[in-house]
Amino acid sequence: MHRLAGLNNPRLAQAFIDYMASRGIPLSLAPEPEGRFAIWLEDSQYLVEAEAELNLFLANPNDSKYQAASWALAESRTAKFTYHSPDLLTLIRARAGPLTLAVMVAAMVIYGLWLFGFEQPLFRWLHFPLMQGDEWQLWRFFSHALIHFSTLHLLFNCLWWWLLGGQLERHSGSTKLLQVFLISALISGFAQFWFHGSGFGGLSGVVYALLGYLWWMGWLVPERGLAIPKPYVVFMLAWLVIGFAQPMGMSIANQAHLFGLISGCVIALVDGKLRRPARS
């Protein structure tokens, strides 16, 4: 199974599915969050042809050949729409690129080893440098983002990383996501270390950078096609403010969150207003 595209109009998507069926290429339709519908290719051997036809369809979805295909198949169809629900792993892969998945797997593996009693050596090797000679171990400036201290901490961060990082990687590529990850891990790590020392870890500083990047790109240059739903922004900003109150005695890396958010906004400002988009 391969996810070809997500559309807001299921009737439009069905017209393309009917057209491809007339050419002997089976596709299916599946609902997604936020009212979207995904078009799935069932046999990857047709991927190149399906993507080429999809580009033609998106350029002119009202072409008569698509309507004709729907009419031709209308009598043989037993239901108005047929939804195929892909398995969880397929859905996760469809909404994320290789870097998004690699970081999630790394964080999960590290946490799994943490649960099996390796927390001390893991933290000793991955924490932010103490600036006592270990600052030359350059991986430490970034590896702290992969350490998590509880199941809830891991799940919360991985969910937001998957949603936001996956969106950015699918839109702008793995290089851009890696750039945001490295810059924000470095800046948020320094900020948290400066105020509270090296006893911290987690992806949340990077997650807040992704929030800031997508939020400001949608605000500064909406024509680029990057945006984030307003409820996500409101929730994450509210959690940022609540975190400074240390609710229920929770130990929260607030400086990492704050400076991660700022770094993401600054990267978006540079990309949106100071850099010209590459010509296709």
Pick from 109, 236, 272, 63: nearest CA to 161 = 236
Spans of all domains in the chain: 2-88, 95-274
**Starting at the edge strand that comes first in sequence, how are the strands of the sheet with 27-31 ordered?**
2-7, 37-41, 27-31
**Cα 216 to chain centroid, rounded:** 16
Helices 10-22, 47-59: inter-axial angle, 10-degree rounding = 130
Amino acid 108 reads M
Q: What is the dihedral of CA 210, 211, 212, 218, to 10 degrees?
A: 100
SS3 (DSSP) at 27: strand
Would you state the CATH architecture of domain 95-274? Up-down Bundle (1.20)
Which string of DSSP letters, residue by residue, matches 170-218?
A: HHH-HHHHHHHHHHHHHHHHHHHHHHH-S----SHHHHHHHHHHHHHHH
The sign of the torsion formed by the CA atoms of 104, 109, 115, 120 equals negative
**Amino acid 279: pLDDT:** 45
Q: Where do we find the tokens 């998590």?
A: 148
CA distance 170 to 140: 27
Q: What's the token pair of residue 249?
A: 């005695």
**Amino acid 90: pLDDT:** 73
* Enzyme catalytic residues: 204, 257
110, 149 contact by CB (below 8 A):
no
CA distance 129 to 220: 36
The sign of the torsion formed by the CA atoms of 13, 19, 20, 26 equals positive
CA distance 97 to 174: 7
Looking at the whole model, is its pTM more than 0.85? Answer: no
Q: Where do we find the tokens 């009693």?
A: 117
Q: Determine the topology of domain 2-88 in CATH.
A: Alpha-Beta Plaits (3.30.70)
**Amino acid 79: pLDDT:** 45
CA distance 242 to 215: 20
From first to last of its 280 residues, the chain has per-residue pLDDT tens of 678 888 878 888 888 888 888 888 888 888 766 667 888 888 777 888 888 888 888 888 888 787 776 666 654 554 444 455 566 677 777 778 899 999 999 999 999 999 999 999 999 999 999 988 888 999 999 999 999 999 999 999 999 999 999 999 989 999 999 999 999 999 999 999 999 888 899 999 999 999 999 999 999 998 888 889 899 999 999 999 998 887 766 778 899 999 999 999 999 999 988 876 554 3
142, 182 contact by CB (below 8 A):
yes
Q: What's the token pair of residue 184?
A: 């924000």
CA distance 17 to 12: 9
Q: What's the token pair of residue 93?
A: 């892969």
